[in-house]
């Protein structure tokens, strides 16, 4: 499932004039490709990620994942598209404190009552083994380290095998060593699933783990 972004623009109204945050972003990625996006605060990195994740709508331009533009769908269609095809990893892990590790990973599957429960639980257990947490299945988030909680979040993001994985400062709360390990884990797992990975970061350590880095500059994506 390729990702094609064409002439993507996003403006916000202000009292004086329109504030143009994205000024014609172009990006094409194929399954298995990974890219880090850097840039100063306010440059539009998170705005771009929110639009790619269908959490916000562009002013103009198009986003197509496997030739489908989600913004041509109604709200119900966009929500289904997001759940089935896009995974998210944020700076804050957003794990539910009342649920254990295995239950947290299975949360995205709850809106799919027809899934085989035994089969999808086996997928969750396999992912948790991949991220090194097979011994923590029954633990609560409060019993985990910051790096472990982020690994759970990665497994949760991948449980439905999304075509596109979006990571917003995924290592922002981690030390350099753990940040590199988490970055390498993200890249390996998304490649194994033939997904596309886009990570927004301020961290040069995290960006260094990616084969390709771009930066947001004056509302455009340019080579870093």
pLDDT of residue 70: 96
pLDDT of residue 178: 83
pLDDT of residue 211: 93
pLDDT of residue 224: 87
CB within 8 Å of 37: residues ≥ 6 apart: 45, 48, 49, 198, 199, 200, 201, 213, 214, 215, 216, 221
pLDDT of residue 111: 86
Residue 13 β-bridge partners = 18
How far apart CA 45 and CA 190 sit, in angstroms, is 21
- pLDDT band at residue 205 using 50, 70 and 90 as cut-offs: confident
Per-residue model confidence as pLDDT tens digits over 125-160: 999 999 999 999 999 999 999 889 999 999 999 999
Per-residue model confidence as pLDDT tens digits over 22-31: 999 999 999 9
Strands (E), 30-162: 34-38, 60-65, 86-89
Q: Is the pLDDT at 163 greater than 90, yes or no?
A: yes
Per-residue model confidence as pLDDT tens digits over 42-64: 889 999 999 999 999 999 999 99
Domains of the chain: 3-223 (3.40.50.300)
């Amino acid at each position: 499932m390729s990702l094609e972004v064409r002439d993507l623009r996003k403006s916000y109204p202000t009292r004086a004039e329109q504030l143009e945050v994205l000024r014609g972003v172009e990006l094409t990625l194929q399954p298995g490709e990974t890219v880090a996006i850097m840039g100063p605060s306010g440059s539009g990195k998170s705005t771009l990620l929110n639009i790619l994740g269908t959490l916000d709508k562009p002013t103009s331009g198009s986003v197509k994942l496997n030739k489908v533009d989600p913004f041509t769908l109604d709200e119900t269609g966009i929500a289904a598209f997001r759940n089935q095809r896009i995974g998210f990893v944020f700076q804050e892990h957003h794990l539910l404190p009342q649920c254990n590790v295995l239950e947290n990973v299975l949360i995205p599957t709850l809106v799919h009552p027809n899934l085989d429960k035994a089969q999808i639980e086996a997928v969750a257990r396999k992912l948790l083994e991949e991220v090194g947490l097979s011994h923590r299945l029954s633990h609560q988030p409060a019993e985990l380290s910051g790096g472990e909680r982020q690994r759970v979040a990665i497994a949760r993001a991948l449980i439905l095998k999304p075509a596109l994985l979006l990571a917003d400062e995924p290592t922002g709360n981690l030390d350099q060593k753990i940040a590199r390990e988490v970055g390498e884990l993200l890249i390996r797992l998304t490649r194994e699933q033939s997904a596309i990975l886009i990570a927004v970061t301020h961290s040069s350590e995290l960006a260094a783990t990616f084969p390709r880095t771009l930066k947001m500059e004056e509302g455009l994506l340019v080579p870093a």
